[in-house]
Structure formats: structure tokens, C-alpha cells
Amino acid sequence: MEIPRLPGDLLEAYRGLRDLTGMSSDAMDSLGIAGAVPASLLRPTDPRARVVAQAITVLNLARKDSAADAARANDNRLGDIEAHNLAESGDVLVVQGIDGISSMGSISASIGKRQGEVGAIVDGAVRDIDHSRAIGYAVWLRSVSPITGKWRIETAGINVPVTIAGIVVKPGDLVLADAVGVCVIPFSKAADVLAVAQKIAASEAKRQKLIAEGISVGELARQG
């Protein structure tokens, strides 16, 4: 299933925002869009990483059979490989997973990196994070766990709506992520949010300039 595509110049304009998720979150507030998740809930494995990308989604659910039986039968039901196969260069994998059980390890991260993905947002656990960090595959995650999902999780859908920290993410939605958190912007609202965020950025740049020039705190406050 192909996802709708946003214009490349729009994505570049988002990348130009100095405070990526902060300014975008403020813009979303003004437009009545709920989609910001703090880094305390989905934390980055590399705080230097920044992501502006469209979502390829994976829905992972808990299996009902026993992990021991699945392991003995070598019955692996993780299907993220198909998501990697569908991803285009610059996309981000968005995974609804299970906390404490790994939805992604080194092999998945390596495939994603080779396919050109900028990283993954995982509402669940991830393991082998030293590897993903070393290859430059950025991950935002709920938890870190050595417990494999191969015998405990099954992929129920690829490029279907998923829920990440209470936020619904649809295939093709715009995902922003940095050290501060994650913002999910509906595909149809990406241009509207950018326009407001750029105004916020211009206003803040002006205020920062005034501060650097020595404006008094009182005068700065009077300027709103």
C-alpha cells in the first residue's frame, strides 16, 4: 500500500525550524490539533537526532499462545519486514508495540537503515540500541528490553492506523521528532501547521535578537 506524499519543499521547511517539536506543538495548539508526545514518554536513543518524515505504520499485538511453544516451533510472527519493504528513502517507521517486549532489534534496524528510513518511533520496547545508535538509525521508544517479540508479538497490520502514546497515526502522516519529543501532524494539516510554526519562529527570532541587544526585561514583556 502506497502512502500519500507531501511536497519535498514542505518537508525541508519543517527541517528549517530551529525548535522543531516545540514550535510545531505550539502551532498545533493554535489549530486545535492534539499530537504532541513528550520525550519522557517516548525517549530518543540519540538526543542529537532530528526527524522530519512521513509515517510507515506497523501494528503489533500480543500473541495468545505461549512464548515457549512458539520458540520451539520457530514460529516468528513479526512482520515489520514488509513495512521496511514499502518504505521509501526518508520515511520513518511508526510501531504500536507492547511495553517491555521488543518490537525491534539489530536486524530490523539494519534493514530500515539500508532502505533509507530515518528511524523509528516505537510505543513499546526495543533492544540492541547500541547497534541502532552506531549505524545512525534514530529510535524513539517507550522502553528498552532484551525480551524478544519474535515469540510474544504478532504483526496485525502494515500501513493501518496505529496509536502511539494515545495519538492516532495514519500512514503518510507527518512525524517530527527531536530531543524534546514527538509530534504527529495529520497529512491534511501539514501545510497549515507549518505556516503557523514559521510565524512563531519569526517572532521568537525577533525576541532573541532583542535579548542579545540588551533590551530590558520589562520592555521585552510589553512587546508580548
Instruction: Return the H-helix or E-strand segment holding 44.
Output: strand 43-44
Q: Is 78 helix (H, G, I), strand (E, B) or coil?
A: coil
Band (pLDDT 50/70/90 cuts) for residue 6 is: very high
| Alpha-carbon gap, residue 31 to 24, rounded angstroms | 11
Q: How many CB atoms are closer than 10 A to CB 130?
A: 10
Mean pLDDT of 109-127: 97
Residue 38 is assigned to a structural domain of this protein: yes
Residues of the domain holding 193: 8-222
Query: pLDDT at position 224, please?
Result: 59
When pLDDT is averaged across residues 145-167 and rounded to a whole number, the result is 97
What does DSSP say about strands 138-144 and 43-44: parallel, antiparallel, or unpaired?
antiparallel
Q: Is residue 3 part of a domain?
A: no
pTM exceeds cut of 0.85: yes
Residue 1, domain member (yes or no): no
The average confidence (pLDDT) of the chain is: 94
In a domain, 97, yes or no: yes
pLDDT digits (tens, 9 = 90+) for 169-205: 999 999 999 999 999 999 999 999 999 999 998 887 7
Question: Where residue 214 falls among pLDDT bands split at 50, 70, 90?
Answer: confident
Q: Residues 6 or more apart from 43 whose CB is under 8 A from it?
A: 140, 141
The string of pLDDT tens digits covering residues 60-98 is 999 999 999 999 999 999 999 999 999 999 999 999 999
What is the domain count for the chain? Answer: 1
CATH code at position 138: 3.50.30.40
